[in-house]
Amino acid sequence: MPLEGDEAYYWVWSRHLAAGYIDHPPMVAWLIAALSFLGKSALAIRLPFILAEGAAALLVGFVVIALGAGAAGASAATMIFALIPQHRMLIGEAQPDAPYVLFWSLALYFAARAAQSESMRDRFALGVAAGGILLSRLFGWAVVAGIACYSLTDAGARIRRHAWIALAVAAALYAPYLVWNATHAWAGFTFAFLQRERWIPHWNQAPFIRFTALTIALIVLTAATTRKPRLALLAWTALPMLIGLGLFALAKDVETWWLMGPFVSLCAALGIAVVQLPRGSRIALTILWSCAAAWTAAVVALAALALPSPLYVRDFAFRGLAKDVRAISARTRAVPMSNRYEIASQLRYAGIPALMFGREPQVASWQHWYGDGKPRRAIVIALYPPRDEPQLQAALHRFCTKTAPGPTLAYVTNRTSSETFYTQWCDNEPSHRTNDRTGQPNPQ
């Protein structure tokens, strides 16, 4: 599979390591950078995330054991997690999801251990896990809050002893991200709460209906499988977030992979519950669960073979786009630019020094890394015709002295689909501004 647009964007992050970024905390960039010595192939970039997901699957089993259940329940929980019918996990994408579920599993494991002992080591490890999840996704606060609430119950009372160790470690790990936000106008939190998704009701649309049905199913399953007092940790780390996301969906766009964190807790509970069922029921559930994962695997396989598939059709076109943009830029001396981070990132990944302009939230960081000067001539690559994008038209009007339609670039991505990119020539008067970070000759 070629890199998806977000993956290429995170790869760009890994070339500019920082304590924070506008879209997410920094863990995704740090993981890519950690194995950057292996190169920049899709496998090299995804490898740390594949390893993180494998470790998370094993840890879910260890959570079950730490809660006092047997090896059979642990094996069932690990297999349930490993067969998540979710393509982002199945591919092993370079996304924040893998470290998110890894540290969620770690936090559950060490919280379960801390609830049964007074080990300083477990509390230190719990702090590391809490810090790791907060540096992976903003949703990590849900498991931290859940563990805190669990510690106030009788079953989790021991966690409160020497809890300052876990709190101090987590705070120390999270502090650089807070400092980054404070020095960047709280951009990470502003983007997450105000800019990321649209605040519009859409109760009659398929994504809302699908998300709501899935959330209700997970709430019912979690409530049914965590009734025993020893499983209260799993209930506290899953149910509040599931209920909160269900209410959140009433007002804002949502994504199904937001449910992955609570699903980790549910996997542990399901593993314990499934082994108590009659053998025939276990076999039927195994077949049903495996079929869902097999269907997702088939979709991924078809996409990887460039056959008919709804999965990431556009990403198969970026290699051809990069080849043509490189040729156009060499022939016309026009600087490649885009108002979309997906396009700019894919071009950068292909070795083309693309710039960004416009008012998208990601533009400020991009211009900080690669410069904000106006080239004498640029070729702007867009996903849609400029006439259909009022914001792009306005950005071109602000940025360019003169514009003209450029070539339309179309690519066949598989047997049934194609992808088209639209370009616009952007000319400017000679500028005296210089910036050596652009990778192009400075305007004279």
Token couple for 287: 């077949």
Please give the distance of CA 7 from its chain centroid, rounded to a whole number: 9
Domain annotation covers residue 302: no
For residue 168, the enclosing domain spans: 5-276
Domain annotation covers residue 309: no
| pLDDT tens-digit series, residues 3-32 | 999 999 999 999 999 999 999 999 999 999
How many whole angstroms separate alpha carbon 117 and alpha carbon 114?
5
Asked whether 337 and 356 are in contact (CB, 8 A), the reply is: yes
How many whole angstroms separate alpha carbon 359 and alpha carbon 35?
33
- Domain final position from 228, 261, 276: 276
The CA R_g of the chain, rounded to the nearest whole Å, is 24
The number of CA neighbours under 13 Å toward the Cβ of 12 is: 30
Domain annotation covers residue 91: yes
How many whole angstroms separate alpha carbon 308 and alpha carbon 297?
14
Domain annotation covers residue 301: no
| pLDDT tens-digit series, residues 392-426 | 999 999 999 999 999 999 998 877 778 999 999 99
How many whole angstroms separate alpha carbon 340 and alpha carbon 391?
12
- Domain final position from 276, 303, 331: 276
Report which of 238, 237, 248 is spatially closest to residue 217, judged by C-alpha positions.
238
Whether 207 and 256 share a structural domain: yes
Whether 251 and 334 share a structural domain: no
> What is the identity of the amino acid at 195?
Q
| pLDDT tens-digit series, residues 113-154 | 999 998 999 999 999 999 999 999 999 999 999 999 999 999
Give the torsion through C-alpha atoms of 173, 174, 180, 184, to 10 deg: 170
pLDDT bucket at 197, cuts 50 / 70 / 90: low
Asked whether 134 and 174 are in contact (CB, 8 A), the reply is: yes
pLDDT of residue 423: 95
Coil, helix or strand at residue 416: coil
Whether 159 and 44 share a structural domain: yes
pLDDT of residue 14: 97
> Worst-scoring range by mean pLDDT, 111-120, 162-171, 194-203, 257-266?
194-203
Report which of 258, 341, 325 is spatially closest to residue 8, judged by C-alpha positions.
341
Report which of 33, 27, 1, 28 is spatially closest to residue 14, judged by C-alpha positions.
33
pLDDT of residue 436: 40
| pLDDT tens-digit series, residues 300-355 | 888 877 776 667 778 889 999 999 999 999 999 999 999 999 999 999 999 999 99
How, if at all, do strands 377-382 and 335-338 pair? parallel
